[in-house]
Amino acid sequence: MATVVSAVEMGARQREISVSEFFTKNRHLLGFDNPRKALLTCVKEAVDNALDAAEEAGILPDVVVTLEVAGNGSAPPASQATRFRVTVIDNGPGIVRQQIPPIFAKLLYGSKFHRLRMSRGQQGIGISAAGMYAQLTTGKPVQIISRTGARAAAHFFEVSIDTKKNEPRIFENKKIDWEPERGTQVTLEIEGRYQKGRASVDEYLEQTAIANPHVRLVYHTPEGETREYPRTIHELPPQPREIKPHPYGIEFGVLLRMLHDTKSHSLSGFLAGDFSRVSPAVAQEICKTAKLSADARPRNIHGEDAEALYKAIQTTKIMAPPSNCISPIGERAILHGLYKQIKGDFYTAVTRPPSVYRGNPFIIEAGLAFGKGPEQAAATPEAPAAPLAEGEQQKDDDELARVIRYANRVPLLYQQSACATFKAALETAWRNYGVTQSRGALPGGPMVIFVHMASVWVPFTSESKEAIADYDEIRKEIKLALQECGRRLGVFLRRRERAKSEFRRRNIFELYIEEVVEACARLKGGKLPKDKLRMQLQKIATKRTGGARTDEILGRDGGGPEGLPHSIIVTPEGAEGEAPVLPGAEPVNDAPPDEPPADDTPARTRRKGKAQPARAGKRAGGKAPPARSAKGATRAVKAARRRTPASKRRKR
Ligand SMILES: Nc1ncnc2c1ncn2[C@@H]1O[C@H](COP(=O)(O)OP(=O)(O)OP(=O)(O)O)[C@@H](O)[C@H]1O
Ligand SMILES: [Mg+2]
């Protein structure tokens, strides 16, 4: 017989669940589902906090990330190790002593949750969750050193969470000597796995460098390598301002709570004071539409009155929210980041105007890096391919585009298919822009699609902040940004194809001009002014092959890519378009010698160069044999004129 349990017995079993207990059981919700991802999440939480803190304090961030294999005595190689020590040091403002224990050992404790202002962190759970994971898997407390200024002492703490109470337990608390004048160091010992490639710590740091060119990052890998991502912009992004909620899209329940919590004594005062973009005149208008007195006490508005107020707000014309609460990366910086880290032939970037979802302002930015770069395209067996960027793999021609996603400048590496950015990339009709695309797939070809959502509140699909929820307003903005990038890509591809075929023809002519000149001179018994004839023939060849237009499209006239704003075109002779080196960029000797992604090959660092006919001719003209006689030469010129450009296309 089944045992019978009474309501009283059941009642006795009811207990409150602390947030730490909940997340200990559900650590996968916080990004700690497997050891590889856990290592990434720990680094990510600490680095995001470091960047947020430094930026908020108006300091150009300098961050050092060290991964070491943890073990007593003989540690296994990094690829086989299961225990790691993660240390992240920043030059931020530091943390006052009393705040250190709750920040690192109390879930849902932070300074960013209650404000409407763009920052990487928002939930107040990130670093304490990493500490909890460390405690759970290795039993080691989190170690923190923090110093708030040259005159202040550095404090060393060892803390862990009392999961039953969600309160910090302090094991160590002392003053120590610490060299940096200001900043914070966090050390976590965790169970993890180190693997390179997709969704790795390496990829996260590399993508962070793309979207944060104002940050200097040093990464000591567990294999003993040191990689440095230098700062290329020496100015902080504009400080985002804190704003009040915008009345559009705010939920009914939130309005009720705000009516209850407000300090205002009148309805119009509440509307004008607690929302952004509601002037006293707009507040009066809302009250009138809702048929409510402007002097009514906000606390007394509920039921039908509240509903009328809610409707009136949505139907009144209110200015879009201010965008100074968001600090977009900007087209120039995106271009710079992509150009620095990803090899390609064409780059473009778009920053959309601000928009709103659920009352939260946001800005979408998109970028494209297309092609394999001139070094890859020209690679022959004798001249090996340029080194690939970190995480990049040798791909076949039928590869699909890759989407790199960001939310508030933080790379998102997991749950791609659940993300609004990815869905918008799939929905964009890339075929209109000259690239292949199968049904329901990403476009084909060597292409990196960059999407960034900057907002005061990014709607993540889970606490681990891996994918952006699919709000219609957000997806629409992403699509608009991608369409603009695609349009520019289409223009570039069409122009390049046309220019290339003309240029190929020109090179063929040029190959034979010398022969024709020599042959004519022989016919004339050597009395011919050879230079003049050569010049004339060259003029004809240029004119017949698109003239200056071809030069312009191929970026050989020194001007930028016309009609393509915020774009860079890379040819074997150098980069054209928006300057690849941004103002205030690091002096050349500051660049680290051992950083693979920044290992700009000569073509990268070369500025706008003049075409060298001999070399260009060899590259583009193929291996057409030079004619040996005057007759042969004339025949060859005629043949070249007839030749279809496509027949000579070189496989890239
Ligand atoms: N390196 C640091 N320097 C200064 N303050 C820090 C640092 N790391 C964390 N903080 C402070 O500690 C708070 C808690 O950090 P935590 O990562 O737990 O949450 P969060 O960053 O606010 O949000 P999220 O959970 O989304 O990361 C932050 O809001 C910040 O004020
Ligand atoms: Mg955080």
* Domain count within the chain: 4
Same domain, 616 and 517: yes
**Pocket residue to mutate for ligand 1, from 44, 88, 95, 103, most atoms within 8 A of Cβ:** 103
For ligand 2, a single-atom ion, which residues have Cβ within 5 Å? 49, 121, 126
Residue 110 CB less than 6 A away from ligand 1: yes
pLDDT tens, position by position, 333-372: 999 889 888 889 999 999 999 888 887 889 999 999 999 8
Same domain, 476 and 502: no
The C-alpha atoms of residue 165 and residue 33 are separated, in whole angstroms, by 24
In ligand 1, which atom is closest to the CA atom of 121?
26
| pLDDT confidence of residue 628 | 33
In a domain, 3, yes or no: no
The C-alpha atoms of residue 635 and residue 629 are separated, in whole angstroms, by 10
CA angle 85, 87, 93 (to 5 degrees): 160
Q: Is the pLDDT of residue 418 over 70?
A: yes
| pLDDT confidence of residue 556 | 53
Residue 360 CB less than 6 A away from ligand 1: no
CA of 229 to the centre of ligand 2 (A): 22
| pLDDT confidence of residue 549 | 63
3-state secondary structure of 35: helix
**Average pLDDT of the residues of the chain:** 83
CA angle 502, 508, 509 (to 5 degrees): 90
Percent of the chain, pLDDT > 90? 58
Tokens describing residue 610: 């003049």
In ligand 1, which atom is closest to the CA atom of 124?
19
Q: Is the pLDDT of residue 379 over 80?
A: no
Same domain, 343 and 482: yes
| pLDDT confidence of residue 315 | 93
**Per mean pLDDT, which range of 1-10, 84-93, 478-487 is the poorest?**
1-10
Question: Would you place residue 392 in the very low, low, confident or very high pLDDT band (cuts 50, 70, 90)?
Answer: very low
pLDDT tens, position by position, 25-68: 999 999 999 999 999 999 999 999 999 999 999 999 999 999 99
| Residue nearest atom 8 of ligand 1, based on CA coordinates | 49
| Residue nearest atom 21 of ligand 1, based on CA coordinates | 121
Same domain, 500 and 484: no
φ and ψ at residue 174, rounded to 5 degrees: -150, 160
The C-alpha atoms of residue 58 and residue 39 are separated, in whole angstroms, by 29
Roughly how many angstroms between the first and final C-alpha of the chain, as a whole number?
76
Same domain, 484 and 406: yes
Q: Is the pLDDT of residue 217 over 90?
A: yes
Same domain, 385 and 531: no
**Per mean pLDDT, which range of 7-11, 277-281, 382-386 is the poorest?**
382-386
| pLDDT confidence of residue 41 | 96
φ and ψ at residue 13, rounded to 5 degrees: -85, -15
Q: Are strands 142-147 and 154-162 parallel, antiparallel or unpaired?
A: antiparallel
3-state secondary structure of 187: strand
Across 234-245, average pLDDT: 90
| pLDDT confidence of residue 630 | 37
pLDDT tens, position by position, 154-202: 999 999 999 999 999 999 999 999 999 999 999 999 999 999 999 999 9
In a domain, 12, yes or no: no
pTM of the full predicted structure? 0.78
Question: Would you place residue 377 in the very low, low, confident or very high pLDDT band (cuts 50, 70, 90)?
Answer: low
Same domain, 391 and 479: yes
| pLDDT confidence of residue 638 | 38
Q: Is the pLDDT of residue 387 over 50?
A: no
Tokens describing residue 279: 């002037």
What CATH number corresponds to the domain at position 464?
3.30.230.10
Question: Would you place residue 435 in the very low, low, confident or very high pLDDT band (cuts 50, 70, 90)?
Answer: very high
Same domain, 301 and 391: no
| pLDDT confidence of residue 627 | 34
Structural domain of 397: 331-489
Tokens describing residue 518: 């020599």
| pLDDT confidence of residue 546 | 66
Residue 45 CB less than 6 A away from ligand 1: yes
Q: Alpha helix locations (H) across 416-471?
A: 420-427
Same domain, 545 and 522: yes
Report whether 268 contacts 254 (CB < 8 A).
no
Report whether 516 contacts 637 (CB < 8 A).
yes
| pLDDT confidence of residue 561 | 59
Residue 119 CB less than 6 A away from ligand 1: no
| pLDDT confidence of residue 397 | 52
Q: Which residue has the higher pLDDT, 498 or 383?
A: 498
Same domain, 160 and 262: no
Same domain, 171 and 38: yes
Question: Would you place residue 550 in the very low, low, confident or very high pLDDT band (cuts 50, 70, 90)?
Answer: low
Report which of 51, 42, 462, 407 is spatially closest to residue 217, judged by C-alpha positions. Answer: 51
Rounded to 10 deg, the angle between the 420-427 and 472-523 helix axes is 50
Q: Which residue has the higher pLDDT, 244 or 626?
A: 244
